[in-house]
Amino acid sequence: MPIEGLLQDLRAGAWGAAMPKLQRAISATVRLRRIPPPRGQSRWGADDLAELTQEFVAGRTGPGRLTQLAVAATSEDHCAKVLDTLVRNFLADRARSDPRTKLRRRVRAVCGAEPGLQVDGTVVRERSSLADVYAGDDAVLRAAARRTPVAPPPWRDGEREGPPTDRASLIAVCKAVVAAGGGAVRLDTLASVLVERLQVRSSWDDSLDDAIEPTDSITERTAPVSADDYVVAAAIWDRLDDDERELVTFVGTGGRTAVRESDTALGKSAAQQRLERLRPRLWEAVNGCASPEGVVAALFELHARWKAAAGQSDPVVRTSTRQGGGAPRHPPRSSS
């Protein structure tokens, strides 16, 4: 059920009257997605939720959000969906600025780039390790982390705070914890151990209990992607040929960029022509969805998985095709 009359209130300039409806939507996302309560609280209180709504409405970008809602929505039902997206973006942005979430993202990036480690979805493992994911007591991992010396924060000034330690120390602790876990540890677990080892404090809550472990449930995506978005995106994806799939992430740019940054064997003009034919087809499929941006984000994810599958299956074939070879560059459609 849409939030009755929200769009009407916004377009009538009665933004104060819209507040209870906005509060309902924000509280719903907080509750459904178990957003951690603020600093010093074990659970959300009425004042905390009121503060959160106030920040959504009256923060630096708050009036812009409501304006965007009033402008982009085409009906009350559509308005509810756009608001849903705005609220999740707002909470995701808030979470991204949390030091512990930053640490988790840094761990993922550092471990992914470290030759001795690899990030396999939500698991960090020693390179080429086939070990089962560690399921034992976290105390073992925490002990391994405590035994590893770490450097103090590299810099800090009055307004900004640097990372909790330098890259070398971070890698050393990650390696020690993964080794203590038998070669494969969940990223969430690793991040949680690091939070304690590096004494990283949340901007929302000082108490480091299990309920507020850093999680990627809401922070890792550039746009909220729903199950429906994936269904629509998958239907579109199935109808694309290999060249179009290669170009799908460039619909927002141009043929020149696509040729420079993708693996397409097309020339600049051909890529541009394919993009110009692709855009209306994509829009035809995306238009009418409550969240076109979500569908686009889902398409981008499908593209990333497809590229990863192509890279794992036969990276040599891709190179040879760029040089004019006849072998298929990408996995067969069934693999998508």
Please give the residues from 243 up to 272 whose contact with other proteins meets the rule CB under 8 A. Answer: 249, 251-253
Q: Does 283 bind other proteins (CB under 8 A)?
A: yes
Q: Which residue shows structure tokens 């929505």? A: 73
Using CB under 8 A, which of 101, 189, 226, 262 touches other proteins?
226
Shortest distance in whole angstroms from residue 115 CB to other proteins: 24
Shortest distance in whole angstroms from residue 81 CB to other proteins: 6
Shortest distance in whole angstroms from residue 216 CB to other proteins: 14
- Cβ neighbourhood burial of 121 (10 Å; 0-12, 13-18, 19+): exposed
Using CB under 8 A, which of 124, 190, 193, 296 touches other proteins?
296
Residues 180-219 that bind other proteins (CB under 8 A): none
Q: Among the candidate windows 4-12, 98-106, 137-145, 319-327, which touches other proteins by CB under 8 A?
A: 4-12
Q: Among the candidate windows 26-34, 99-107, 131-139, 142-150, which touches other proteins by CB under 8 A?
A: 26-34
Residues 73-112 that bind other proteins (CB under 8 A): 73-74, 78, 80-81, 83-84, 86-89, 93
Q: Rounded CA gap, 239 and 241, in Å?
A: 7
Alpha helices per DSSP H over the chain: 6-11, 15-32, 46-58, 62-72, 76-96, 99-113, 138-147, 167-180, 187-197, 227-238, 242-247, 255-261, 268-286, 292-313, 315-322
Which of 95/144 has CB closer to other proteins? 95
Which of 184/247 has CB closer to other proteins? 247
Using CB under 8 A, which of 222, 273, 319, 335 touches other proteins?
222
Q: Helices 46-58 and 62-72, interaxial angle, to 10°?
A: 70
Shortest distance in whole angstroms from residue 300 CB to other proteins: 6
For residues 86-103, b (16+ Cβ closer than 10 Å) or e, as one string?
bbbbbbbebbeebbbbbb
Closest CA to 190 of 148, 142, 137: 142
* Both tokens assigned to 101: 């979430």
Task: Kindly determine how many residues on this chain lie close enough to bind other proteins according to the rule CB under 8 A.
Answer: 79
Q: Rounded CA gap, 253 and 260, in Å?
A: 11
82: left (phi over 0), alpha (psi -120 to 50) or beta: alpha
Does residue 117 contact residue 174 with C-beta atoms inside 8 Å? Answer: yes
Using CB under 8 A, which of 5, 38, 182, 292 touches other proteins?
292
Using CB under 8 A, which of 286, 306, 329, 330 touches other proteins?
286
Q: Does 223 bind other proteins (CB under 8 A)?
A: yes
Residues 46-75 that bind other proteins (CB under 8 A): 46-47, 49-50, 53-54, 57-58, 60-68, 70-74
Closest CA to 296 of 217, 216, 226, 220: 226
Q: Does 242 bind other proteins (CB under 8 A)?
A: no
